[in-house]
A and B are shown apart, each in its own frame.
Chain A
Amino acid sequence: MKDKIAEKLLLFIAFSAIGSLLLITFFIFQQGIPLIFKIGLSNFFSMHWSPTRGQFGILSMIIGSLMVTVGALIVGIPFGLACAIYLAEFSSKMVQKTLKPIIELLAGIPSVVYGFIGIVILVPFIRTHFGGPGFSVLASSIILGIMILPTIVSISYDSLVAVPNTYREGSYALGATKWQTVVKLLIPAARSGIVAGIILGMGRAIGETMAVIMVAGNALKIPHSILDSVRTLTSTIALELGYATGDHRAALFACGAFLFIIITILNIIAIRVTGHRE
């Protein structure tokens, strides 16, 4: 009897939790999609964003998000991977034991702190040494790149460590150096974990909002160089949500829905790659 009630209660809990997640998904799409049909795809994927004048083109923001994300990966992948490889293969147990948890702790630092460092150090530095406003693709990429480092390091490290030791021993037995073993054997063997880490980092970079608003400058024009200001999908939502009504608000939801789809695709790829779910 008690068991029956408990099962029903748990079922109810599961449904309300999952219901709330469904609600969010449904809500975002329900608010955003009608506008896309109303204005047409060609308007939605055009260059001009000026919702108060009826122009809802999000293409420049898509490009902006893309540039910033690619930039972040260019910064984050080499350093993240190098750090993971060094920690997993070249450092002593002691170093591993201290640095790994510290890097994981750093993953918890709020993104606004990264954005703040961007404002006070990086933006003035870029402005005085490279020119332009300083608020730029470059600044955003570096800040996001640093932000996703802990994610990439942590997951890549785990998957490198998970490669069985027999692989390494076999490779050394054939006379390979440590570095050759890493390049020829360990990285391919740990590939799926590394790729998953990168994709998760990528998702974080695309989705980041506040840090990007702080350092990107948010100009709508498509940047011609990495020193130009840039606007991403997320920053558009955050910048304009407070003022938006009617179609303008619906357009922000449409941005959200679009973002949602992109992130979901990335997640699906990440899940597929790792074969994480049975």
Chain B
Amino acid sequence: MTFRIGPRTSQIIAYIILLLMTIITIIVLFFIIGYVFKNGFAQLSLEFLTDRTREMGKEGGILPSIIGTLFVTVLAVIIATPLGVGSAVYLVEYTRGGLLRRIISFGADCLAGVPSIIFGLFGFIFFVIQLKLGWSILSGSLTLAVMIIPTIIRTSEEAIKAVPLSYREISYSLGGGKLDTIWKVVLPTSLPGILTGVILGIGRAIGETAAVIFTAGSSLGMPTSVFSSTRTLAVHFYILAREGISMEKAYGTATVLIIIILFVNFVAYRLMHRFMERYY
């Protein structure tokens, strides 16, 4: 027995299925955040945010991890941004789109997709052991910097390429040199794109576990210098959850982590919007 389903009917069926699947997708994604928040908000208190970690995380707060995360991320971005943006500027403004640029862009494209554990593997043997930097904020930041450089190169390159040639012509015809043009016209104009890349990198660095646990270590002490080992929020959360040290603290830590990341992404989003409205 065969049914012939008319185009109208199939349209309606398809619509319902699509709607259902979309709703499921959205619900699942929201459920994950909601579930963590529901269990985590009860844990949030001033004490939790400002106290030292005690008993391997069973007691006390997460201040050392918050500071460690901040340290590692900021240092990574400080290292990666000039390198990434500088490379992108060089590629777009100085290489005339030749073979070199294609090869480098391709390499950056590929490395942007390399799993973070490979960066962890590299960072552990190279920075921690061979360069004798030990498990430290410095090792962690360097590893993360290498990890986010490709992303920053790629997004900055796209943003810089998008600056109209006419802007450069104007700058030159007003007597600007190449450096003036790059510094005062090209970079400010491509700033939103560059910023997006940097902020994506920040988000990736904050949430990263695999590359950090082997390089920044897992010490719970309060970091005092770039040579201190630290346990970032993501790593702390991973260890709490996985070793069942304290599910309550795990939820609390995850909540803080997610809030920070959503906040960073949100700020990026707003910033870009403001910038676009002002200039375009």
* A residues lining the B interface (CB < 8 Å): 2-3, 6-7, 9-11, 13-14, 16-18, 20-25, 27-28, 31, 78-80, 82-83, 85-87, 90, 99, 101, 103-106, 108-117, 119-121, 146, 149-150, 153, 176-180, 182, 200, 203, 206-210, 213-214, 234, 237-238, 241-242, 249, 252-253, 256, 259-260, 263-264, 266-268, 270-271, 276-278
Contacts and interface: CB of A to CB of B under 8 A. Distances in A.
Given A28-B118, A112-B241, A271-B106, 16 more contacts: A3-B177, A6-B178, A14-B87, A16-B83, A23-B126, A24-B118, A82-B21, A87-B22, A99-B26, A108-B265, A110-B261, A113-B258, A116-B36, A176-B7, A213-B242, A237-B121
Contacts of B108: 18, 21
Contacts of B91: 14
Contacts of B116: 207, 209
B127 to A, nearest CB: 11
A267 B107 contact: no
Q: What 4 A-B pairs have minimum CB-CB distances, sorted nearest first?
A: A207-B115, A110-B207, A13-B86, A82-B21
Contacts of B258: 109-110, 113
Contacts of B223: none
Given A28-B121, A31-B125, A10 B113 contact: no
Interface stretch (B42-50, B70-78, B208-216): B208-216
A241 B120 contact: yes
Interface in B61-108: 82-84, 86-87, 89-91, 93-94, 97, 102, 104-108
Contacts of A177: 7-8, 10-11
A206 B22 contact: no
Contacts of A213: 242
B29 to A, nearest CB: 5
Interface residues on B, range: 35 or more
Contacts of B261: 108-110
6 contacts: A10-B93, A28-B122, A99-B26, A105-B265, A113-B36, A153-B25
Nearest to A178: B11
B28 A146 contact: yes
B86 A10 contact: yes
Contact of B107 (A18, A28, A110, A259): A18
